[in-house]
Structure 1
Amino acid sequence: MADHLTVAVATPLSEELCLLIEAREPRCELIRDQSLLPPMRYPGDHAGDPGFRRTARQEEAFRAMLTHADASYGIPGESPQLLAWTAEHNPGLRWVHTAAAGGGAQVRQAGLSREQLDRITFTTSAGVHAAPLAEFAVFGVLAGAKLLPRLTAQKHDRTWGGAFLMRQLSQMTVLVAGMGHIGNRCIDDFHALGARVIAYNRSVHDNPNVSAVYTTGQLGEAVEQADAIVVTLPGTERTNKLLSAEILQQVRPGTILVNVGRGTVIDQAAMVNALADGRLAFAALDVVADEPLPTDSPLWGLPNVIISPHTAGLDAHEDRSIAELFARSATLILDGREPLNRVNTVELY
């Protein structure tokens, strides 16, 4: 693998982008058969058409491709079960790149052995979605600050109403929880709009646009200062319900909440209660604890909530950006260097 990399295209990727990767890194050979991959319904549709089915012969060909490659572009079939099968039946597999930024969760679901986790390098597409998710975060905070639910209701009722105050972002303190690619882009964007930005992170990272960084055990202290909270954290055991009922009791009345990380980071029942009693004035959620959100969830009925079906990170250029990222990591791996966005195979994020 030092001078050549055979890559199985295991998730939908256009022929144009396959050729782009091979042109960017000529030591990569992409094995692919477009007839074995489900058609994409929209840009960034890495699972493809759910109605697609391979014939028995096609499935055999697809799995043969997976067992003869050094690397996999994408989680095979976007299926943790098929990833587990591939890891078991291909002892030569050395690298899997996930199309998702939070690919560690898919790796966790595969239940791989310690030997497999140590043998295979896993990388993610973290960073590709940072700009669109940061824009959604800005939109969410502004929607809360400018009272979008009230404006929408008055328009629906054809009521002009009287004058009322709106908050200004330049007079707000925004807490960004998580200082990864998405978090740092959020920090920069909110700072550019005049907000005072503070951050919560496991360790202190340098970002000149942050007024203060709070670390483990200091989240309560941080939320007490915030007019808005933006969650960008991954879903891990460590972050599960990090924004607990206790933490949400400490927020200022009228706080705005945006989640572009993972839904499991917030205690969802406690969040619903806080939205109902006004401690949280508004929430813009691109993610929830259980996806798709059940039809009987009380979140659907709350007028001060906007729900995006985990789609705020998608944009027309996503597939090309991921392919370019993959090519850069392929070069690093072939040169014996550390690839981009390597998954922590202990905590799996």
Structure 2
Amino acid sequence: MMDTMTLENPIVAIAVPLESEHVDSLRAANPTVSFLYEAELLPPERFPADHTGDPAFVRTAEQEERYWAMLKSADILYGLPNENPAGLARIARENPRLQWIHAMAAGAGGAVKAAGLDTETLQRLKVTTSAGVHSLPLAEFAVMGILNGFKRTAELAQDQAGKVWPELRTPTRLVNGSHVVVTGLGEIGMETARLARALGMKVSGTKRTVEQLEGIERVTDTDGLPELLAGADAVVNTLPGTPYTEKMFNRELFAAMKPGTVFVNVGRGTVVDEDALLEALENGRVSYACLDVFAVEPLPAESPLWNHPRVMVSPHTSALSAAENRLIAERFADNLALFLAGEPMPHVVDPVHFY
């Protein structure tokens, strides 16, 4: 059971942009819950699932006061205030009745850490993430990266741009029968494994708690990763950014890979030492890298990753889909039922490790 106060008439405030149709669905499904929603206080979305909203949006002084008054009257928030750590820090300080915030991001632990909340607040205030909502689009992106590397799409694009028809044809590699290692066999990792197996790949991977998983050839912890990498044809990272994963993919791990490995990162950019990755691309350990996340975002213009002929740079958009807002609202509704019943919710941010 969760250690929360009993809420007879809970109040939920919508703190981030959300279509009114989804708010209406939440209200209809939860008639005992009051939902505070004022669309004019929220920045308009520029694209589907634009949780931050248009940066040009500015509230008037009166609207700003109303926005914060609404949030301070709530027991539960849908979204971080202004979708940033500063907003989280402020509402945690100014609303002692607040019990739970559902964050839009799958990796909201970084924002919680950046808010600098004290230990007492971290114990009082539950923050859940939207992990799992993004599993399928991230897994599809990861498989695309593997296929790109095996089928030489980067070279094909260069030849097409130069109108080059090579005299000697270069064979591609079969995905079927190859071996992919997934670091982080959580929801994203397991969905990636499912799609990879559908292509005929063998899948191994890492998990903090080592256990046999259906369809996975071998599961190890991080200590066993170098041995897994030695037999991998492709590697997909799904791990979050924590002090324990900082630059985990370093020179030693890339050196453990066999030549020609395809590397995909849909986790967090801080997990990869980008200088070590560039060296691995040059020495052939990595034949192709498909990257959706980077140590610094936006990726600095001077980064050599932008122009590397065997690197795909994606601007941290692989998780986005037109259905995202609906899926997050549905996840929130499921969590709300658990919360009100005093049951544990999935994907609560760890107040120590922040993932």
Question: TM-score over 0.5 for the alignment?
Answer: yes
**Counterparts of 1:233-272 in structure 2 under 5 Å?**
233-272=239-278
Other-structure match for 2:205: 199
Q: CA deviation at 1:4?
A: 2.7
Other-structure match for 1:50: 55
Partner secondary structure for residue 214 of structure 2: coil
Asked if the contact 1:8–1:71 (Cα under 8 Å) also holds between the matched residues in 2, the reply is: yes
Cα deviation code 1:51-86 (max 9, x no counterpart): 111111111111111111001100111110111010
How many percent of aligned residue pairs carry the same amino acid?
Answer: 44
Other-structure match for 2:343: 337
Asked if the contact 1:36–1:54 (Cα under 8 Å) also holds between the matched residues in 2, the reply is: yes
Other-structure match for 2:70: 65
- Please say if 1:168 is aligned against 2:174: yes
- Please say if 1:14 is aligned against 2:19: yes
- Please say if 1:324 is aligned against 2:330: yes
- 2:121 pairs, out of 116, 132, 136, with 116
Asked if the contact 2:103–2:127 (Cα under 8 Å) also holds between the matched residues in 1, the reply is: yes
- Provide the rounded CA distance (Å) in 2 between the counterparts of 1:205 and 1:99: 30
Other-structure match for 2:96: 91
Other-structure match for 1:37: 42
Cα deviation code 1:194-218 (max 9, x no counterpart): 0011101221244311100111311
Asked if the contact 1:21–1:28 (Cα under 8 Å) also holds between the matched residues in 2, the reply is: no
Q: CA deviation at 1:346?
A: 1.2
- Provide the rounded CA distance (Å) in 1 between the counterparts of 2:123 and 2:160: 57
Q: CA deviation at 1:28?
A: 2.2
Cα deviation code 1:237-274 (max 9, x no counterpart): 11111111111111111110000000011111111111
- Provide the rounded CA distance (Å) in 2 between the counterparts of 1:256 and 1:305: 10
Other-structure match for 2:295: 289
Unmatched 5+ residue regions in structure 2? 1-5
- 1:25 pairs, out of 25, 30, 52, with 30
Unmatched 5+ residue regions in structure 1? none
Q: Which amino acid aligns with 1:73?
A: Y
Partner secondary structure for residue 53 of structure 1: coil
Partner secondary structure for residue 13 of structure 2: strand
- 2:194 pairs, out of 188, 191, 194, with 188
- Provide the rounded CA distance (Å) in 2 between the counterparts of 1:346 and 1:196: 34
Other-structure match for 2:147: 142
Asked if the contact 1:184–1:207 (Cα under 8 Å) also holds between the matched residues in 2, the reply is: no
Cα deviation code 1:139-191 (max 9, x no counterpart): 00000000111111111121221222111111211000001110010011101
- 2:107 pairs, out of 94, 102, 106, with 102
- Provide the rounded CA distance (Å) in 2 between the counterparts of 1:339 and 1:247: 35
- 2:218 pairs, out of 202, 212, 216, with 212
- Provide the rounded CA distance (Å) in 2 between the counterparts of 1:299 and 1:216: 26
Asked if the contact 2:212–2:218 (Cα under 8 Å) also holds between the matched residues in 1, the reply is: no
Q: Which amino acid aligns with 1:232?
A: T
Asked if the contact 1:179–1:201 (Cα under 8 Å) also holds between the matched residues in 2, the reply is: yes
- 2:231 pairs, out of 204, 221, 225, with 225
Deviates more, 1:300-309 or 1:271-280: 271-280
TM-score by length of 2: 0.96
Q: Which amino acid aligns with 2:58?
A: R
Asked if the contact 1:235–1:262 (Cα under 8 Å) also holds between the matched residues in 2, the reply is: yes
- Provide the rounded CA distance (Å) in 1 between the counterparts of 2:213 and 2:322: 29
Deviates more, 1:110-119 or 1:209-218: 209-218
Q: CA deviation at 1:25?
A: 2.2
- Provide the rounded CA distance (Å) in 1 between the counterparts of 2:212 and 2:106: 22
Q: CA deviation at 1:332?
A: 0.6
- Please say if 1:3 is aligned against 2:8: yes
Asked if the contact 2:269–2:294 (Cα under 8 Å) also holds between the matched residues in 1, the reply is: yes
Q: Which amino acid aligns with 1:332?
A: L
- Provide the rounded CA distance (Å) in 1 between the counterparts of 2:101 and 2:185: 24
- Provide the rounded CA distance (Å) in 2 between the counterparts of 1:318 and 1:341: 17
- Provide the rounded CA distance (Å) in 1 between the counterparts of 2:24 and 2:170: 56
- Provide the rounded CA distance (Å) in 2 between the counterparts of 1:309 and 1:216: 28
Q: Which amino acid aligns with 1:195?
A: M
Deviates more, 1:192-201 or 1:154-163: 154-163
